[in-house]
Structure 1
């Protein structure tokens, strides 16, 4: 989309008109959603919670989808829990993409959640912090329940740990409470039954093996069968530790969920929603535990059915994925996939189904992209196979990531063929996910295309490392912090006491936050197989005469803003 167009956010109609030698060749239209966002901003505070009279330290970091700093100006405002405007700074300049501000709180400020808002040209962000009266905790209580429970389990293992913020174990007494969180209690508004265990000695860590009969006793009479644990809902475990020396009591909670199966299956998102008669269909079945850990070594039976044949295949799970390559019969009009796997913990059969629709083409011409993996790393080469059910001599390709065109080109074959290959070098600009589109223009002008998405493990071009000179110091001693990064890097450091982090989120910027933000720039994936004229090429103003038309000599495209529905 040209940057110079003065577009507002909202839906537009993109109209394309093709004019050939003998007049109008085609006319088509599609809907576009224009998003003005082109810069990301992170708002960081030194703490997540402040006392009255303390000073809130703020840092704003703005960067482009390329991860290069944004050096414009922004407006910053702060509101209290009553939505009163407390402070406002205009034209805050970002030096190397970073700006700083601070706000001294009064002695009696409104308690609750405050908000920091940052806005500017094609960017906006919001962050919150809490103002409250509090006492810093001296130790932390953590509860480690089982990662999951299935209805046939006979015991529940729980570990409670109490440690001072400097790492030493806490001596004292422990009280445990167990209760169920289910739809039954939510629907009827009844308080749950509670199982309580008191006066337990603890010295840092205490492990329990609880018989499942005690958990089953928490089930209401609503449940007709009490011989097993629930198959849904959660088990909440609260632990309160009272310190032996001072009598201070602090608490922690753990949650674990009930399931009827210990594993789950689904067809991976890289499995196409359409199939192409006469070409291979690649199905990837994702097999994980209920807490999303990949399963290894299990066998999955995948039955591929058409009106012509029904064939079962046994494939092994490797790294949580079972891959089936099925050659679709030429005359197939529908395809159904059924996957089955035995749950190693319960012995039950877990299933998953997929019903891809048939691809559409005026001439029944198809091409297919394939690759051996759905994820890769920066610096590697990704090899794609390209097959078709017709001969071609020139293949075009484009790679998109973060909403931008990264690579494009074509491959000229020495002679016409029905298959070839593409090699794409994976760069930083393709993380965290990229889409490759390959297409062929047939002799009668039809655009025949296919696309695949690939996940790219993010790697930052500027590698940053932070370290302390020692792991332990006495109060009042100096600590040396070493930061290593590329030459001329702008470095911003934040430090906070561990006990403060126990009270509230410290608003740190993590790699996961950056990855999620980069993914927000990705545009929607076009459905090539159901409409060869719509989608990627049209949005990029590379307009060809699809649906059997010949390539036109000129094209006209224009936008019409759609009226608001509200």
Structure 2
């Protein structure tokens, strides 16, 4: 087999049967090859009446294709969407990767029935940047708009429609990336690479007119930690993404996954991402509050008690010490007070 071989196991689950001693589960195994970048596309066709699927990918980095006892693997949980009429929307991005500011973003929308109108909204940093209604009169449509700097580095597209027959709200959401967060091109140069104490050093900063410029010099003792002491573009992008309004409904919690995460080394994404298992949770996970007299379906919470789900701190015996008392943490110095802000200025014309 190829050095880049991944062992993929998919477990399909079906409606819960309280009268059965064990729940029915199907298993499908595939061995796939990934490219030099470690990626591949996995196509799955869930069985009819399947309620959820758990996908596990195992990789043997030694290249021996020994997948029985490997430490490198990832898991993903996918649950079927819920609708009383079995009606859904599906939103797909036509662009691959991030799109530059000024370029056109395009998305394909598919529906399980013919729709008259759809409404789409673009959200970024907890604000609605664009809201439009589109006449479709079809079961598919294309949504396109121009990428702006306010959409960088990441935005969300939410599309919804109302079924005329029963007033049910259909909705889907998708995140997309935009390059062009930094519109001001800043450069810095210095007239000498080294200087003796008391010698003048001249800095030249080039930026847009009226830009607020700050110069910061850091003592070399900060280099003890090697990294994490500078403001980088990645740090700024990460900070801006904290303004995302994504939320997760309480009934999205699954206790068996919480236990799984404690005992497995896996890469876990948010359970629902931007989507959800019903229309109400998709809106909530997208950070939107809905006020409507239409039928916004939300699946009732199904109580499930699992023995394995009792492995939490709240179930410790009375004589057991808390986990924190058995752990010692090493305090690493991360703050160095010997830093100076030299000067601030406003760029001229």
Q: TM-score range by the shorter chain?
A: 0.5 to 0.7
Equivalent residue for 2:44?
Answer: 326
Quickly say closer, same or farther: Cα 1:318–1:453, change in 2 above 3 A.
farther
Kindly indicate whether the alpha-carbon contact (under 8 Å) linking 2:95 and 2:106 is maintained by their aligned counterparts in 1.
no
Quickly say closer, same or farther: Cα 1:406–1:492, change in 2 above 3 A.
same
Note the alpha carbon deviations across 1:309-341, whole angstroms, 9 max, x for none: 947363524644333243445544443423233
Kindly indicate whether the alpha-carbon contact (under 8 Å) linking 2:150 and 2:181 is maintained by their aligned counterparts in 1.
no
- How many Å separate the matches in 1 of 2:115 and 2:33? 33
Equivalent residue for 2:90?
Answer: 368
Quickly say closer, same or farther: Cα 1:374–1:342, change in 2 above 3 A.
farther
Kindly indicate whether the alpha-carbon contact (under 8 Å) linking 1:378 and 1:459 is maintained by their aligned counterparts in 2.
no
Q: How much has 1:374 moved relative to structure 2?
A: 7.7
Q: How much has 1:372 moved relative to structure 2?
A: 6.2
SS of structure 2 residue aligned to 1:514: helix
Structure 1 length normalisation: TM-score? 0.38
Q: How much has 1:544 moved relative to structure 2?
A: 4.5
Equivalent residue for 1:312?
Answer: 30
**Greater share of residues in strand:** 1
Structure 2 length normalisation: TM-score? 0.59
**Matched positions, count:** 251
Candidates 55, 80, 97, aligned match of 1:358: 80
SS of structure 2 residue aligned to 1:533: helix
SS of structure 1 residue aligned to 2:98: strand
Kindly indicate whether the alpha-carbon contact (under 8 Å) linking 1:395 and 1:440 is maintained by their aligned counterparts in 2.
yes
Kindly indicate whether the alpha-carbon contact (under 8 Å) linking 1:432 and 1:458 is maintained by their aligned counterparts in 2.
yes
1:343 aligns with 2:64: no
Equivalent residue for 2:254?
Answer: none
Question: Which structure ranks higher in relative contact order (CA pairs < 8 Å, sequence separation ≥ 6)?
Answer: 2
Kindly indicate whether the alpha-carbon contact (under 8 Å) linking 2:186 and 2:206 is maintained by their aligned counterparts in 1.
yes
Kindly indicate whether the alpha-carbon contact (under 8 Å) linking 1:360 and 1:529 is maintained by their aligned counterparts in 2.
no
Note the alpha carbon deviations across 1:146-190, whole angstroms, 9 max, x for none: xxxxxxxxxxxxxxxxxxxxxxxxxxxxxxxxxxxxxxxxxxxxx
Cα RMSD of the aligned pairs, angstroms, is: 3.6
- How many Å separate the matches in 2 of 1:377 and 1:524? 22
- How many Å separate the matches in 2 of 1:469 and 1:505? 26
Q: How much has 1:464 moved relative to structure 2?
A: 1.4
Q: How much has 1:382 moved relative to structure 2?
A: 3.4
Q: How much has 1:396 moved relative to structure 2?
A: 1.6
5+ unaligned residues in a row in structure 1: which ranges? 1-296, 550-566
Equivalent residue for 1:523?
Answer: 245
- How many Å separate the matches in 2 of 1:503 and 1:318? 33
Pairwise mapping of residues 37-116 of structure 1 onto structure 2 (< 5 A)?
none
Equivalent residue for 1:427?
Answer: 148
Kindly indicate whether the alpha-carbon contact (under 8 Å) linking 1:428 and 1:459 is maintained by their aligned counterparts in 2.
yes
Equivalent residue for 2:292?
Answer: 543
- How many Å separate the matches in 1 of 2:42 and 2:105? 20
Q: How much has 1:505 moved relative to structure 2?
A: 9.0
Equivalent residue for 2:115?
Answer: 392
Pairwise mapping of residues 141-290 of structure 1 onto structure 2 (< 5 A)?
none
Note the alpha carbon deviations across 1:36-57, whole angstroms, 9 max, x for none: xxxxxxxxxxxxxxxxxxxxxx
- How many Å separate the matches in 1 of 2:84 and 2:215? 60
Candidates 177, 188, 198, aligned match of 1:466: 188
Kindly indicate whether the alpha-carbon contact (under 8 Å) linking 1:299 and 1:317 is maintained by their aligned counterparts in 2.
no
5+ unaligned residues in a row in structure 2: which ranges? 13-24, 249-271, 299-349
Kindly indicate whether the alpha-carbon contact (under 8 Å) linking 2:245 and 2:287 is maintained by their aligned counterparts in 1.
no
Kindly indicate whether the alpha-carbon contact (under 8 Å) linking 1:299 and 1:315 is maintained by their aligned counterparts in 2.
yes
Q: How much has 1:447 moved relative to structure 2?
A: 0.8
**Greater share of residues in helix:** 2
